[in-house]
């Protein structure tokens, strides 16, 4: 069951949202269960991206608007539906990211699959939910995969592909939903996103792409619109770019994970490119790494608006148990000695371990993280854990009395897909409900939860 909470305290379910803080799918109005991405809006409403039920190739992928109380905003979308559909006909789609824009509109990014073609898509919407036809081709930009693309693409990372994880496998499906913040918009309207590639020798490398505000390729970025993550001088074999963020001065942070050539060990990295797409060596030499005797995966990165502090989160195996990790860097790429004495903070918090998938940063320096417990599979170990750490790395006892809270429904397993923060500080998460089937668990529903700040 969901962990007992102190009513009205930070970190407890918000009783004003849906059914005592929990909105479950499907509903009478919405047939879907694949709740994939969230975006908090300035007016206390929120956008939720999900795929509805249907035949393969005919399942609509939609963005719906929810009112503050969790009800469907029927003034949004056509004919009172409360949602708009991603306009890529005949494609299988998912949603990886909902990105708010300065003009009140929003950008949707995800993967598409059509007969004979697959890759990334971007769709831009106006504030009223109408497709912005000035972007791409009638509002849509497709970035097809090529022979040089890594099939993992767009921040899934090699773990999801099964090529790095040499540990125990249950045969159960992975709970690796939530694929990192893989697209962002600069202040000037240009768009950055990450994806993978393979060299002619078969080596995997991350890349960062930049598009103009109209969706065309920005050839002023590294001369080609693309910059490659090289990780020079650390003996890396493959590397994956999972996340991208933009600093206030327009410099570009890319984060991901790597393995050491010829070894089943590796680490994670944050590297910086200047506004022209060149490696910025003023960022602590260009790249900051954290290594581990076992594999690590970087899942999310955040920048604190007040001072440019960088926070990176993910997971690492330690003594056979998955730990969530957090490390904090200054704007210039040096470890912040105010946080855990300048060291990465590894946390398991529960016996089955956990991995952090999302983070949000608060103005007072505290860090909220959320993820899924267990070994990464849809088993009875999988629950959703949300925690708040103080600026020094200690758990915040004011958050649910213990520093963390667990969402765990009876008779099902839960996994996190996304998390966002409302303007008033309340935390909203979404994810999947798994039911125990033979031989493996299957997705039985979706959910959105909201915690008090």
Q: What is the pLDDT of residue 149?
A: 64
What does the DSSP 8-state code read for residue 149?
B
Q: What is the pLDDT of residue 438?
A: 85
Pick the last residue of a domain from 294, 323, 350. 294
Asked whether residue 299 is domain-assigned, the answer is no
Q: Which of 4-8, 66-70, 73-77, 412-416 has the lowest mean pLDDT?
A: 4-8
Identify whether 439 is preceded by a cis peptide bond (ω within 30 of 0). Answer: yes
Distances (CA, A) of 45 to 25, 69, 365, 448: 18, 8, 25, 13
Q: What is the pLDDT of residue 17?
A: 99
Phi and psi dihedrals of 213, rounded to 5? Answer: -55, -25
Decide if pLDDT at 262 tops 90. no
Q: Are residues 70 and 133 in the same domain?
A: yes
Please compute the mean of the pLDDT values over residues 114-128 and round it to a whole number: 95
Q: What is the pLDDT of residue 265?
A: 81
Q: Are residues 161 and 236 in the same domain?
A: yes
Decide if pLDDT at 171 tops 60. no
Quickly state the pLDDT bin for 164 (edges 50, 70, 90): very low
What does pTM read for this prediction? 0.92
Q: Are residues 113 and 169 in the same domain?
A: no
Q: What is the pLDDT of residue 173?
A: 64
The pair of structure tokens assigned to 249 is 């001065």
For the residues of 237-251, what is the DSSP string, one character each? EEEEEEEEEE-TTS-
Q: What is the pLDDT of residue 79?
A: 86
Q: Which of 122, 111, 200, 99 is nearest to 156 (CA)?
A: 111
Phi and psi dihedrals of 78, rounded to 5? Answer: -90, 145
CB of 111 closer than 8 Å to CB of 121? yes
Q: What is the pLDDT of residue 174?
A: 62
Please compute the mean of the pLDDT values over residues 108-116 and round it to a whole number: 94
Q: Which of 144-148, 215-219, 244-248 has the lowest mean pLDDT?
A: 144-148
Q: Which of 81-90, 146-155, 262-271 has the lowest mean pLDDT?
A: 146-155
Decide if pLDDT at 3 tops 80. no
Quickly state the pLDDT bin for 167 (edges 50, 70, 90): very low
Q: Are residues 440 and 321 in the same domain?
A: yes
Q: Are residues 121 and 204 in the same domain?
A: no
Please compute the mean of the pLDDT values over residues 405-432 and round it to a whole number: 96
Q: What is the pLDDT of residue 176?
A: 55
- With a pLDDT cut of 70, the percent of the chain lying above it is 91
Cα–Cα distance, 150 to 144 (Å, whole number): 12
Query: Structural domain of residue 378, as residue ranges?
Result: 1-30+304-453
Cα–Cα distance, 214 to 344 (Å, whole number): 39
Q: Are residues 319 and 450 in the same domain?
A: yes
Number of domains in the chain: 3
Q: Are residues 80 and 198 in the same domain?
A: no
Asked whether residue 350 is domain-assigned, the answer is yes
Decide if pLDDT at 161 tops 70. no
Q: Are residues 118 and 214 in the same domain?
A: no
3-state class percentages of the chain: helix first, strand second, coil last, to nearest 5: 5, 45, 50
Pick the last residue of a domain from 144, 173, 205. 144
Quickly state the pLDDT bin for 232 (edges 50, 70, 90): confident
More confident residue, 327 or 160: 327
Tell me the per-residue pLDDT of 278-314, one tens digit each, with 9 for 90 and over. 999 999 999 999 998 888 999 999 999 999 999 999 9
Q: Which of 142-151, 204-213, 427-436 has the lowest mean pLDDT?
A: 142-151
Q: Are residues 93 and 165 in the same domain?
A: no
Tell me the per-residue pLDDT of 18-60, one tens digit each, with 9 for 90 and over. 999 999 999 999 999 999 999 999 999 999 999 998 877 678 9
Quickly state the pLDDT bin for 151 (edges 50, 70, 90): very low
Q: What is the pLDDT of residue 159?
A: 31
């Amino acid at each position: 069951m969901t962990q007992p909470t102190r009513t009205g305290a930070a970190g407890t379910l918000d009783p004003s949202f849906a059914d005592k803080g929990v909105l479950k799918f499907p509903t009478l109005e919405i047939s879907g269960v694949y709740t994939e991405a969230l975006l908090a809006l300035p007016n206390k409403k929120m956008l939720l991206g999900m795929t509805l039920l249907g035949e393969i190739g005919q399942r609509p992928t939609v963005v719906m608007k929810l009112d503050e109380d969790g009800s469907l905003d029927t003034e949004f979308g056509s004919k009172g539906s409360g949602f708009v559909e991603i306009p890529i006909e005949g494609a299988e789609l998912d949603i990886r990211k909902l990105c708010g824009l300065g003009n009140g509109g929003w950008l949707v990014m995800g993967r598409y699959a059509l007969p004979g073609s697959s890759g990334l898509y971007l769709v831009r919407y106006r504030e009223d939910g109408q497709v912005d036809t000035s972007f791409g081709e009638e509002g849509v930009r497709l970035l097809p995969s090529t022979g040089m693309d890594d099939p993992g693409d767009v921040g899934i990372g090699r773990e999801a592909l099964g090529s790095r994880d040499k540990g125990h496998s249950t045969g159960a499906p992975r709970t690796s939903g939530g694929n990192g913040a893989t697209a962002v918009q600069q202040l000037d309207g240009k768009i950055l996103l990450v994806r993978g590639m393979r060299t002619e020798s078969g080596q995997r490398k991350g890349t960062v792409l930049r598009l103009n505000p109209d969706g065309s390729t920005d050839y002023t970025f590294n001369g080609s619109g693309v910059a490659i993550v090289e990780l020079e001088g650390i003996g890396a074999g493959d590397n994956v770019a999972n996340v991208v963020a933009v600093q206030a001065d327009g410099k570009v942070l890319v984060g991901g994970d790597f393995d050491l050539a010829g070894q089943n060990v590796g680490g994670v990295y944050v590297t910086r490119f200047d506004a022209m797409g060149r490696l910025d060596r003023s960022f602590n030499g260009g790249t900051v790494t954290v290594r581990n005797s076992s594999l690590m995966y970087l899942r999310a990165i955040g920048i604190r608006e007040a001072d440019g502090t960088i926070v990176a989160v993910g997971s690492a195996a330690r003594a056979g148990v998955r730990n969530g990790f957090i490390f904090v860097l200054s704007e210039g790429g040096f470890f912040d000695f105010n946080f855990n004495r300048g060291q990465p903070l590894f946390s398991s918090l529960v016996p089955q371990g956990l991995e952090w998938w999302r983070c949000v940063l608060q103005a007072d320096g505290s860090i909220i993280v959320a993820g899924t417990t267990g070994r990464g599979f849809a088993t009875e170990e999988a629950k959703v854990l949300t925690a708040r750490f103080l600026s020094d790395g200690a758990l915040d006892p004011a958050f649910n009395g213990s520093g963390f809270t667990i969402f765990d429904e009876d008779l099902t397993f839960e996994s996190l897909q996304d998390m966002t923060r409302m303007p008033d500080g309340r935390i909203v998460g979404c994810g999947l409900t798994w039911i125990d089937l033979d031989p493996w668990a299957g997705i039985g529903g979706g959910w959105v939860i909201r915690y008090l700040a």
